[in-house]
Amino acid sequence: MGCDGVLNVLKPPGMTSHDVISFVRRTLGIRRVGHAGTLDPDAAGVLPVFCGLATRFIEYFDGHDKTYRFWLSFGEQTDTGDDSGRVIATSDVRSLGGSEIEQVLAALTGPQEQIPPMYSAVHHQGKRLYELARAGQVVERAPRSIVIRRLQLVKQEQDRILVEADCSKGTYIRTLAEAIAQRLGMAGTVTFLLRTEAGPFGLNEASTLEEIKAQGAALLKPADQYMAFIEAVRLPAAAVVDFAIGRTVVLPQEQLSSGTVVRVYDEYAHFLGMGRWQANGLRPVKVLPDAGTHAVHR
């Protein structure tokens, strides 16, 4: 397999997602590396990293829901939304009942609009918002549609709560935390943020940077191993050649809905790439270089 595959990385706090990419490039000695789902520098948790040919499949992982755990501490609000920023508002910390917290969490669950924070990687006129924020600029941001699928109170302490959130792509946990604090009548900021799931990637299977440094490419897994959410199609031997050279494959079996993207395998379960159903058959979308090899050796 060489250095083609996916790493489920446990990103530590204090590193940017790009820092992790640079680490993987140096450690594995390759240039073609990318990631799905950026994590804040102060956040920790699951960061899917794609290496070599596997980078061709990042697009299929980018829209997944995420799960986070975060401590929301009351009494202060910062300009960054976490404890790395400058305090811009304060409040008294009042006593909270568990039912009051749960009512607020329930009210913030479901489809909604969220305005990206200034300290985010969203582009505005060719620059990242965080670059403008560091220069002291505040610009108007358009709200984005997100979905908060679940908010659960995990633990409560005197001046902070631990919350678990299932949410759609594009959700800013720092902004969500500020909304929770506001509805509870206090200033608040995130003091710990951990991503425990990113689509099919989970925290329990994530590798630390130390493990990656020690084991290297041995930790890489084939991209299709994480793609069970996409339907698979097996091609008969006669059709593998057509797929390998980019020719639309006509199959006798019942077709899926037009436009459906599928994983494509040969009859021996070798992953060949991705295809898309059309009215006239299965059109190759992404073909792995060795698909032709599988076609020849029959």
List the chain domain ranges: 5-64+200-223, 66-190, 230-296
What is the CATH architecture assignment of 230-296?
Roll (2.30)
Q: Please tell me the predicted confidence (pLDDT) of residue 1.
A: 46
Measure CA of the first residue to CA of the last residue in the chain; give whole Å.
21
Of the CATH numbers 3.40.50.620, 1.10.1200.10, 3.30.2350.10, 3.20.20.80, which one belongs to the domain with range 66-190? 3.30.2350.10
pLDDT of the residue at 254? 66
Spell out the per-residue pLDDT of the chain, length 298, in tens: 468 999 999 999 999 999 999 999 999 999 999 999 889 888 999 999 999 999 999 999 988 999 999 999 999 999 999 998 999 999 999 999 889 999 999 999 999 999 888 777 777 777 777 777 787 878 778 889 999 999 999 999 999 999 999 999 999 999 999 999 999 999 999 999 999 999 999 999 999 999 999 999 999 999 999 999 999 999 998 899 999 999 999 887 667 788 899 999 999 999 999 999 988 889 999 999 987 676 554 4
| pLDDT for the residue 209 | 98
From CA 298, how far away is CA 292, in angstroms rounded? 11
CA-CA distance, 203 to 219, in Å (whole number)? 15
Kindly indicate whether the domain formed by 5-64+200-223 is annotated with CATH number 3.30.2350.10: yes
DSSP H helix total and E strand total for the chain: 7, 17
The Cα–Cα gap between 129 and 57 comes to 28
Active-site amino acid positions: 40
Separation between Cα atoms, residue 18 and residue 159, nearest integer Å: 34
Long-range residue pairs from 180-183, CB within 8 A, at least 24 positions apart, any chain:
180/72, 180/104, 180/105, 180/108, 181/72, 181/74, 181/77, 183/104, 183/107, 183/108
Q: Same topology for domains 5-64+200-223 and 66-190, yes or no?
A: yes
* Short-list 201, 112, 100, 193, CA closest to 153: 100
